[in-house]
Amino acid sequence: MSLKLILGVLLKGGKLMDIMDINELMVMSLEGLKQTAMKKIKDLGKETAQDDLERIKDMFEELVFFWSLDESLIDEYDEMIRVEVQNNKVA
């Protein structure tokens, strides 16, 4: 993501977004990471997607910790991945 795009997202009408808006933006970003991980599992399978899944989880955790979000989001992410892998196992 370019600096120009980030600044465009964080600035509204020349003013810095308030913290609630930023938290909402971060939650939306986390949702995007979840959807990306699920699509990787569906399209590539867990084994092939493993490196990507590790990078996605690292970024997910980084956002949660940096923005001081509820750390239970990480547990929810792990559970979502576990269920997605289980649902996409080849019989």
Q: Which of 24, 86, 27, 82 is nearest to 53 (CA)?
A: 82
What's the mean per-residue pLDDT of the chain?
84
Q: What's the rounded Cα separation, in Å, for the pair 77 and 85? A: 12
* pLDDT grade for 91, boundaries at 50, 70 and 90: very low
Q: What's the rounded Cα separation, in Å, for the pair 30 and 24? A: 10
Backbone phi, psi, residue 11, to 5°: -105, 135
* pLDDT grade for 58, boundaries at 50, 70 and 90: very high
- Listed by start position, the domains of the chain span 17-87
Claim: this prediction has a pTM higher than 0.85:
no
Cβ neighbours for 17, distance < 8 A, ≥ 6 positions apart:
9, 10, 11, 25
Q: Above 80 in pLDDT, residue 14?
A: no
